Amino acid sequence: MKRILLILIAIALFHSVNAQVKINAPNGRVAIIADGNSPDPDDLGGTAISIALLRAAGLENRLVHYSHSCDLIRVDRISEAAERERHALMQTSCDVTARRWGGYEKFKFLDAKWELEETINDLRDAINASTIDNPLWIIEAGEPDIIGFALEASKREKHKYVKLVTHHPANDEAGDFYKWEEILAFGIEEVRIPDQNVDLKVDLDKWHWARDHTDPRIQWLWLIGKIAEVDDVVEFQKGKWDCSDAGMVLYWITGANVNGGLKTGTVEDVKSVLLNYVENNK
């Protein structure tokens, strides 16, 4: 009887360890607006993981807009010099991750603050291309102002085909030009999921698997998250590896509110998607 019990436990553990996250994205395209130039550096890791997740899921061709540094008015908590550094680090997180993981050769990652008009027009065009069968899912990984400007510039009849994914009120209420109520007043669909910091802002040792991995694509992801951890603007990232905003991408690639996406994604879920891809694409 004891042997049978041990066998059953072993089988259960095997299936648990080897369980694959199901990729089941809804119809449509995805746009991501991140900050990173604000005091919190978490978007460095969140951006890299988001780009890698889309590639690993085979959905990189459905990314139609990615902009970073969307905090348009600097606050005193971050100096001008530190903000310039963040712009460079965020662009590096985008460009290096995209090159190393592949699939983004013709894609341009935009700096929202430094390329403001191009960023707004690019998101506007993505909104205007939306239809009932090809909606636009906007992932709000930063302040909502760029989204507001793009909605203001776009065709009103297209707004009913826009879905805005959000997970934290700190982003919603951080706009310098648009309040959250004004964003929703455009007639878009709000898709709110739980705070992703709960399971994706974790102690550093939860990411030692990436630090110690032999594949440079995985090592790079760990490194950019570690850069955020040693950032000297804020203290609350110390000892933490944070890719919380990427939880919204994980939610989308696993189904969002159409196909039952993962509302509370974990590091193990991220790990499963990324390592499955790396194992099959050496």
Structural domain includes residue 6: no
* Banded pLDDT at 15 (limits 50, 70, 90): very low
The domain that holds 265 is classified in CATH as: 3.90.245
pLDDT tens, 206-229? 999 999 999 999 999 999 999 999
CB of 72 closer than 8 Å to CB of 36: no
Domain that holds residue 141: 24-280
Q: How far apart are CA 188 and CA 203, in angstroms?
A: 36
Average pLDDT of span 256-272: 97
Helix, strand and coil in the chain, % to nearest 5: 50, 10, 40
Extract the tokens encoding 18.
Answer: 């080897």
pLDDT of residue 1: 52
pLDDT of residue 170: 83
Structural domain includes residue 216: yes
pLDDT of residue 172: 87
Structural domain includes residue 99: yes
Extract the tokens encoding 27.
Answer: 């119809």
How is the beta sheet containing 63-68 ordered, strand by strand?
110-111, 63-68, 29-34, 136-141, 162-166, 189-192
pLDDT tens, 67-125? 999 999 999 999 999 999 999 999 999 999 999 999 999 999 999 999 999 999 999 99
CB of 176 closer than 8 Å to CB of 152: no
Q: Identify the three-state secondary structure at position 63.
A: strand
pLDDT tens, 37-56? 999 999 999 999 999 999 99
pLDDT of residue 169: 87
Structural domain includes residue 15: no
Q: Identify the three-state secondary structure at position 184.
A: helix
Q: Which residues contact 54 (CB under 8 A, 6 or more apart)?
A: 30, 60, 62, 63, 249, 253
Structural domain includes residue 206: yes
Q: How far apart are CA 107 and CA 63, in angstroms?
A: 9
- Indicate the average pLDDT of the chain: 93
pLDDT exceeds cutoff 50 at 177: yes
Structural domain includes residue 10: no
Q: How far apart are CA 271 and CA 273, in angstroms?
A: 6
Structural domain includes residue 9: no
Instruction: Return the CA Rg of the chain.
Output: 19
CB of 191 closer than 8 Å to CB of 257: yes
Looking at the structure of the chain, the number of domains it has is: 1
* Banded pLDDT at 20 (limits 50, 70, 90): confident
Of 165, 227, 228, nearest in space to 196 by CA: 165
Structural domain includes residue 5: no
pLDDT of residue 16: 39
